[in-house]
Amino acid sequence: MRRKRVLPPALLILCTAALAGTAPAVASPLTATAPARTTAPPAAPLRILLTNDDGYNAPGIRKAFERLTAAGYDVTIVAPLTNQSGTGTKMMSAPTIAVKHPEPKVWAVDGTPGDSVLFGLSEVFEGHAPDLVVSGTNFGPNVAGLATHSGTVGGAVAALESGVPAIALSTGGMAVPDPAATINAMGPTMDFAVKLIDRLRTRAKSGPLLPKGVGLNVNHPVVGADGKGTAAGVAATFQDPQAPLQPDFTDSGDGTWKVDVRFRPQPPAKGGDVEAVGANKIAVSPMNADWNTGPADFAVTAALIAGVRP
């Protein structure tokens, strides 16, 4: 079942404009005769909880911390101590959890991305929730069925469940990644992320950055042999329904089975995230933290069970 939510028109406009490089709207400068005291006070720095699933010291999250801090945001890393790729939305599965605080503004949680976000919201940001949770950026795409099982997306979902706006960020396409090129592409990924967050803040004014319960899953392609190329555009997309990873089980004859995972992508759905990233575009997909599929599917289900009795 694919999570689905209609992208609000205003959100679609801001995503498209941000990728096009349009600068956020700003107020006209004061005239020379205007009293100095009428100048609005500077806005407080946006407070961001930064997490991921590759681990708190992975190159993607460190690049994100560097770029977001340089943009003037107040950023705190609360991320897994070790690589937690593929853990999805798993959280709160152990009776105790170890937490390290290796440096200022950095917390390393010996758990999943979801555990990290929950610890950050309840302890690090206790009593004063951050304005935004950013999960990533990480190696490889979180598109199609990969997103459903992604720890990167799982961290964002944990934030949405707690009522905090969230953005999941990933760098890479469906092809086997080149590590050096992908690391280089994390720079453009974060350049776009800063533009997008700036646009969200400009349009939100003093309100929430995103509509209630809605997060964004952003997938940035690796463009060019060195990964330093510029994306061809931006697309407001949906999660492609295909599941590109297919398991293959081989009986070992001793009660165990060997498990192989084969990559078998299908033709991309028109308008989906796979199609966009394959065209070197940045895919921006709305997501929510539940499994509701919308009123049409609800109506189909209601008709299906009509007249059925216990």
**b/e per residue 219-236 (b: at least 16 CB within 10 A):** bbbbbeeebebebeebbb
Q: For residue range 81-106, what is the model confidence (pLDDT) as tens digits?
A: 998 888 888 888 889 999 999 999 99
Q: For residue range 105-121, what is the model confidence (pLDDT) as tens digits?
A: 999 999 999 999 999 99
CA distance 72 to 286: 25
Q: For residue range 119-151, what is the model confidence (pLDDT) as tens digits?
A: 999 999 999 999 999 999 999 899 999 999 999
Mutual angle of helices 179-204 and 9-19, in 10-degree steps: 130
Query: What one-character DSSP code corresponds to residue 120?
Result: I
Cβ atoms of residues 51 and 78 within 8 Å: yes
Q: What is the mean pLDDT of residues 294-298?
A: 86
- Where are the alpha helices (H) located in the chain, listed in sequence order? 9-19, 59-70, 113-119, 144-148, 151-161, 179-204, 273-278, 295-305
CA distance 77 to 131: 14
Whats the size of the chain, residue-wise? 310
Q: Percent of the chain beyond pLDDT 70?
A: 86
| Spatial CB neighbours of 76, under 8 Å, sequence gap ≥ 6 | 47, 48, 49, 50, 105, 106, 107, 120, 124, 125, 130
Q: For residue range 163-220, what is the model confidence (pLDDT) as tens digits?
A: 999 999 999 988 877 899 999 999 999 999 999 999 999 999 888 999 989 999 999 9
Question: Residue 49 carries which side chain, given as an amino acid letter?
Answer: L
CA distance 86 to 88: 5
Q: Is the pLDDT of residue 29 over 50?
A: no
Task: Assign 8 a pLDDT band (cuts: 50, 70, 90).
Answer: very low
Question: What does the mean pLDDT of the chain come to?
Answer: 86
Q: Is the pLDDT of residue 51 over 90?
A: yes
Please indicate whether residue 187 or residue 298 has the higher confidence score (pLDDT): 187
pLDDT of residue 88: 86
pLDDT of residue 34: 38
Q: For residue range 215-234, what is the model confidence (pLDDT) as tens digits?
A: 999 999 999 999 999 999 99
Cβ atoms of residues 125 and 162 within 8 Å: no
Q: The pTM is what?
A: 0.84
| Spatial CB neighbours of 306, under 8 Å, sequence gap ≥ 6 | none
**b/e per residue 194-215 (b: at least 16 CB within 10 A):** bbbbbbbbebeeeeebbbebbb
Q: Percent of the chain beyond pLDDT 90?
A: 68
pLDDT of residue 159: 96
Task: Assign 269 a pLDDT band (cuts: 50, 70, 90).
Answer: very high
Question: Whose structure tokens read 């609000």?
Answer: 8
Cβ atoms of residues 72 and 45 within 8 Å: yes
Q: Does 171 sit behind a cis peptide bond, omega within 30 degrees of 0 on the bond before it?
A: no
